[in-house]
Amino acid sequence: MEIAGYIASLIIGVSLGLIGGGGSILTVPVLVYLFGVEPVLATAYSLFIVGATSLVGAVPKYRQGEVNLKTALIFGIPSIIAVYATRSFIVPAIPSHILLLDHLPLRNLCC
């Protein structure tokens, strides 16, 4: 299964290079289903992987003068704050049983 994960990761990298979006939505299922990482941890890994990849791609554009730092800060700082708040306060507050349908619980699989 691990080799399938590496192949899927390569496909994700190529698709991101070609179309430039969707990294997290593709990376989390690969980490969970092919590498066996727990879902909550996979979302954190996905943020790191996609962020690091984006940073590597942004450096050449910054050197060419094609990055507007003011705009990056306007979008970046609130995004970092929102991710921190979500991971710190909202994710731990998600109950283990989300819904009960005819005595069959819909469980939160990530916690």
Q: Which amino acid is at 96?
A: S
Closest listed residue to residue 30, CA positions, set 16, 48, 11: 11
Tens of pLDDT, residues 22-68: 677 888 888 999 999 988 889 889 888 888 888 888 899 999 999 99
The reported pTM is 0.66
Closest listed residue to residue 4, CA positions, set 43, 42, 45, 32: 32
Tens of pLDDT, residues 65-108: 999 999 989 998 999 999 899 888 988 887 776 766 776 666 66
Q: What's the token pair of residue 14?
A: 């190529």
Q: How many whole angstroms separate alpha carbon 106 and alpha carbon 101?
A: 7
